[in-house]
A and B are shown apart, each in its own frame.
Chain A
């Protein structure tokens, strides 16, 4: 099993450009998440998907859109990138295990917006 995979690993964008971050999991999990990690702020939830076809906003959704294409894939789109979106983005998936959802994380995408 590859677990959770993310592409690309690194990306540099100019202000105003758009891009899509891809995430896929091969663990047959229903729930998937997108987080951003900024120094001194920990991980903050951007969007969440409880199952194929459903998405919900997290703590910091402004400037992002998501698409749960199927059970495996959950993409994050920046329509018009801004320097404030420079961050490391993590995708995660989870399963209900012994009464709680254990989250498994991908390796991250480091995005710089100039």
Chain B
């Protein structure tokens, strides 16, 4: 079975500052990793994914994430945030053998202040 831990429930940051949202996972088999973003009063949309290959993956809106197998982490980063990045961010994992089921973390609320 897989599990996902998002260590920070809220991350406040000022506009144009860098941000890192942390995600750790647990699994006994190979996994695919995802970050989803949920803007206020909307559904979730895929931000980026790691399937294989380069451990640094780039997503939409200038976000990137790095897969670290030894530390079982998949942290999300952005070098300079904008007010419009204010949203909830969910890390998710699926097993290599059961890719149609996602296990979500509890979410991190990113609040960007002017």
Residues of A within 8 A of B (CB): 4, 31, 40-45, 48, 50, 90, 92, 94, 96, 98-103, 105-108
Contact = CB atoms under 8 A, between A and B. Distances in A.
Interface in B72-99: 90, 94, 99
A94 B100 contact: yes
B69 interface: no
Interface of B: 4, 6, 9, 32, 41-46, 49, 51, 90, 94, 99-102, 104-107
Contact of A105 (B4, B44, B51): B44
Given A99-B51, A100-B94, A42 B44 contact: no
13 contacts: A40-B9, A40-B106, A40-B107, A92-B43, A94-B100, A100-B99, A102-B46, A103-B44, A103-B46, A103-B102, A105-B44, A105-B45, A108-B42
Contacts, number: 55
Nearest to A4: B43
Given A100-B32, A108-B43, 7 more contacts: A4-B43, A44-B104, A45-B101, A45-B102, A90-B44, A103-B44, A107-B42
